[in-house]
Structure 1
Amino acid sequence: MKMKLAQRVVIGYYKTKLRTIAMVSPRKAAEQAFRVFCTPYSRGVKQKEPVIFHKATKHSLFFEGLHTKGFQWTPDEPNGQKVLIVHGFSSYSYKFEKYIQPLLKEGFDILAFDAPAHGLSEGKMINALIYMRFLQAVEQKFGPINGFIAHSLGGLATSLLIEQIDQSVNRKLVLIAPATETRSAVAGFYSMFRIKEPVQTEFEQLIMEMTGKPTDHFSIKRVVQSVQLPILWVHDQGDRICPYNDTIPVQSMQLPHIQFRITEGLGHNKIYRDKQVI
């Protein structure tokens, strides 16, 4: 993945800052590192509002002290099913504009919300648990939701949500390049910021204290073994953000409710914009 100059500068700054703090207190360094881990590297909206969004009903949802923004489209001939589009880390709803018209043609009522600290929504931090609680709030206010189309971190958050919500509702899940294992994301973060072992130990302990669960608990592989809803999982072999190798153990389980579609050459972001995937 190529990084912009501004991103390289920020990463360099935090490498130095975390290394300096760690000399005094690995715990303080871990707390700072966790804040960095949960901070989107790009916030706000970087494009004009797509035309299809002009036709949406605009929603506001007050969530944990933050004003968040969402959109809803109602089909001319509804099929009685509601779909929620769930974007990934450092993304926003506008990027999924090409999904709206095909879903409307099929009669789906469509929802899309910008997560906290993303797009048009307020906030400074996001992680899988914050995102899961946010999706739970969307479900409580606008549900029941029958289908989820989720990319990247949104895929992990949605999977965690599925464990929490009413299992009697008929639901389906589409995962596009999901963040399969939090362990991989954390390991990548350690490598990128050159986090030393004492700080890593404190980082892991911090997650345990905050959630009551170890890092490995936040895993789509774990979730899909305990839920039975139909899942379509689309992943590219060259994904360098959410590694394809993390999907191999899930594929080897041959779970009957999961259907895999493997692509080549689309990476992590092109995949959700690809016409064949849509």
Structure 2
Amino acid sequence: MKKIKEIFTRVKELQHTDNEDITDLIWPLICYSPKFPPRLPQQQLLDESAPFTLEVNDLHFSHSILKFNGFTWGNGSRKVLITHGWSSKGADFIDLITALRTIDDLQIIAFDAPGNGSSDGELSNLLLFVEAVKAVIYTYGAPDVMIGHSLGVMANTLAIKETGIKPSLLINITPMVNLKENFIATMNNADVPQAAQDKFFESFNKIFDVPTSYFNLADIYKADIAQKHWLAYDREDKMAPFSYTQELLNRHAAITSKEYPDATHERIIKDPRLIADVLELVKNKQ
């Protein structure tokens, strides 16, 4: 957390400077994900798992192979894959994983995306999340249930599209719908001038060979990517504004949704109401 504060302060110091170097500072502002070690109960949960390590190729930042860590619980025939959001890790789903372990015949899979949690990587990005999901799918087989939170929702959606799998149940929790608008909000919060923002987006387009506007879940989402679609949201979510979620729901009638008032973007994955509902959804998909 100290490092992201230093990055934020440095960007604000240069807010009135027409300097090319500010673009280099915006990248870590956007793509540095603070890593938080597991708390004792989380570590105890991890100690009960079967850990694994897989690799992804970081084509855009380090230009190297990154190792990322994952964990499984159970050896059931039905697979549940959980994909965390930004600045998070697999163990942050401790309450949901603990609840899911009460269901027979499940194998629960979670991981720390590159640049997050215990995994390699100084900077992270959505495509590294996607590559990690794909690596898990290729190693363990197509999941019956895929659960994503925040950026993890978009990662799951893109991974499904690129692998051609079709889960029986897709659970989306407070999804990050419009990546570009999230970037803009982050830069505005650091008082990044418009000219510098424009330069950053030009740099993004050049590095990733695709505009940030491509990463809009309402555009990417397809009705046939899963048999059943379910989405959880908090209308007052400050991280993923409901207006974008509403656009997603309006354009994709196949998605069943439920509001969790006062859950908040980060704490919703611990909310007892959500955990009870997800448990029931997974049970009913047996």
For residue 38 of structure 1, the aligned residue among 31, 44, 49 is: 31
For residue 58 of structure 1, the aligned residue among 51, 56, 62 is: 51
Deviates more, 1:95-104 or 1:143-152: 95-104
Q: Cα offset for 1:7?
A: 5.7
Contact 1:45–1:92 (Cα < 8 Å) also in 2: no
For residue 155 of structure 1, the aligned residue among 153, 161, 176 is: 153
Distance 2:30 2:86 in 1: 11
**What root-mean-square deviation, in Å, do the aligned CA atoms of Structure 1 and Structure 2 show?**
2.2
2:69: which partner in 1?
Answer: 69
- The answer to whether the aligner puts 1:235 opposite 2:226 as a matched pair is no
Distance 2:29 2:3 in 1: 15
- The answer to whether the aligner puts 1:111 opposite 2:117 as a matched pair is no
Q: Cα offset for 1:243?
A: 1.2
- Residues 20-31 of structure 1 correspond to what in structure 2 (within 5 A)? 22-25=17-20, 28-31=21-24
Q: Cα offset for 1:262?
A: 1.1
- Residues 168-207 of structure 1 correspond to what in structure 2 (within 5 A)? 169-207=166-204
Distance 2:5 2:73 in 1: 39
| Shift in alpha-carbon separation, 1:166–1:251, aligned structure 2, 3 A | closer
User: SS of the counterpart of 1:90?
Assistant: coil
Distance 2:4 2:142 in 1: 39
Contact 2:161–2:225 (Cα < 8 Å) also in 1: no
User: SS of the counterpart of 1:13?
Assistant: helix
Q: Cα offset for 1:6?
A: 7.9
Number of paired residues?
Answer: 265
Runs of at least 5 residues in structure 1 that lack an aligned partner in the other structure? none
Distance 1:184 1:160 in 2: 19
2:261: which partner in 1?
Answer: 264
Distance 2:224 2:188 in 1: 33
| Shift in alpha-carbon separation, 1:254–1:163, aligned structure 2, 3 A | closer
For residue 146 of structure 1, the aligned residue among 144, 147, 170 is: 144
Distance 2:2 2:261 in 1: 28
CA deviation map 1:144-184 (0-9, x unaligned): 222211111111211221211124x4442111111111022
- What letter corresponds to residue 31 of structure 2 in structure 1? C
Distance 1:50 1:5 in 2: 23
- What letter corresponds to residue 272 of structure 1 in structure 2? I
Distance 1:266 1:102 in 2: 18
For residue 275 of structure 1, the aligned residue among 272, 279, 285 is: 272
Runs of at least 5 residues in structure 2 that lack an aligned partner in the other structure? 58-64, 276-286
- The answer to whether the aligner puts 1:88 opposite 2:85 as a matched pair is yes
Distance 1:29 1:227 in 2: 42
TM-score for the superposition, normalised by structure 2? 0.85
Distance 2:257 2:124 in 1: 28
Deviates more, 1:30-39 or 1:87-96: 30-39
Q: Cα offset for 1:254?
A: 4.9
- What letter corresponds to residue 123 of structure 2 in structure 1? M
CA deviation map 1:243-262 (0-9, x unaligned): 12211112223522x11111
Distance 2:44 2:100 in 1: 16
Distance 2:241 2:112 in 1: 24
User: SS of the counterpart of 2:15?
Assistant: helix
- What letter corresponds to residue 153 of structure 2 in structure 1? G
Q: Which runs of 4+ in 1 moved over 6 A?
A: none
User: SS of the counterpart of 1:276?
Assistant: helix
Q: Cα offset for 1:92?
A: 1.1
Structure 1 vs Structure 2: percent identity of aligned residues?
A: 22
Contact 1:50–1:97 (Cα < 8 Å) also in 2: no
Distance 1:31 1:54 in 2: 39
Contact 1:163–1:227 (Cα < 8 Å) also in 2: no
- The answer to whether the aligner puts 1:248 opposite 2:226 as a matched pair is no
Distance 1:59 1:270 in 2: 27
Contact 2:142–2:167 (Cα < 8 Å) also in 1: no
